[in-house]
Amino acid sequence: MPHAHAPSVPAAPAPFPLDPGSAALVVIDMQRDFLDPGGFGESLGNDVSILRRTIGPLRRVLEATRAAGLPVIHTREGHLPDLSDCPPSKLNRGAPAARIGDPGPNGRILIRGEYGHDIIDELAPLPGEPVIDKPGKGAFHGTDFGALLAARGVSQLIVTGVTTEVCVHTTVREANDRGFECLVLSDCVGSYFPEFHRVGLAMIAAQGGILGWTAESADYLAALEVLGAGSRTASAP
């Protein structure tokens, strides 16, 4: 049942019908291994500083979403210390400076429990916010993410995190095929490659929203404001 004051978010290709009763914010892989020097992202030859521009807008979205009472779910990409959940095809791909499981300044690269694997301090999960540990790029593969969303009655995902064309895209594609409506906040997702970022977002909203919707975080925040004003009006004597 849509919320009485459900606002729509200006978005591409059309306004997104935000339903606060069935929406959740997903924060994908905002881990030191992708955003700090010495981790997985840098081992692949990337300038990790480019991803850090997502932190400010994402922090505002996180705080406003929490204040509005919508669920927040975080994900982390990474592997068991014995690498038994890392397929050789992933482990051995390419010629990185260091491979998954190798030691680095932030601990073993992309290994659960290591400092570099954890979420950056600025976006640390609050107690009670689920953190999904995923071995793949998509949040559904090899995890209980789908079951967790079903248990909470979630059918809309507000998607943020890194990287736009890899884990964000894979998760949106997985979610879209499972019947979720995904709104991707364009300034809260980031890529090491500006062109992949631009095209990745365009691909989501193209063809009438073939994979979902895209919007600026300011428009999502404005919709949450309307929601808050609506609930204050509704509870006024």
Catalytic residues: 29, 134, 167
CB of 133 to ligand C5J, least distance (A): 13
Neighbouring residues of 69: CB distance < 8 A, sequence distance ≥ 6: 20
Local structure of 202: helix, strand or coil: helix
Nearer to ligand C5J among residue 106 and residue 163 (C-beta)? 163
CA 202 to chain centre: 17
Residues contributing to the site for ligand C5J (CB under 6 A): 29, 34, 77, 137, 162-163, 166-167
How near is the Cβ of 89 to ligand C5J at its closest, in Å?
14
Q: Which helix (H) or strand (E) holds 220?
A: helix 217-235
Q: Which two tokens stand for residue 137?
A: 């790029």
Quote the least distance from Cβ 162 to ligand C5J, whole Å: 5
Nearest to ligand C5J of 40, 213 (CB atom): 40
In 45-164, alpha helices (H): 55-68, 88-91, 145-151
**Closer CB to ligand C5J, residue 33 or residue 219?**
33
Q: In the bound complex, what is the minimum distance in angstroms from residue 135's beta carbon to ligand C5J?
A: 12
User: At its nearest, how many Å lie between ligand C5J and the CB of residue 85?
Assistant: 15
Angle at 164 between CA 42 and CA 48, to 5 degrees: 20
Candidates 142, 192, 185; CA nearest to 165 is 192
- Of the pair 20, 116, the CB lying nearest ligand C5J is at 116
| Pick from 156, 131, 162: nearest CA to 145 | 131
The two tokens of residue 226 are 């309307």
Tally Cβ neighbours within 10 Å of residue 128.
7
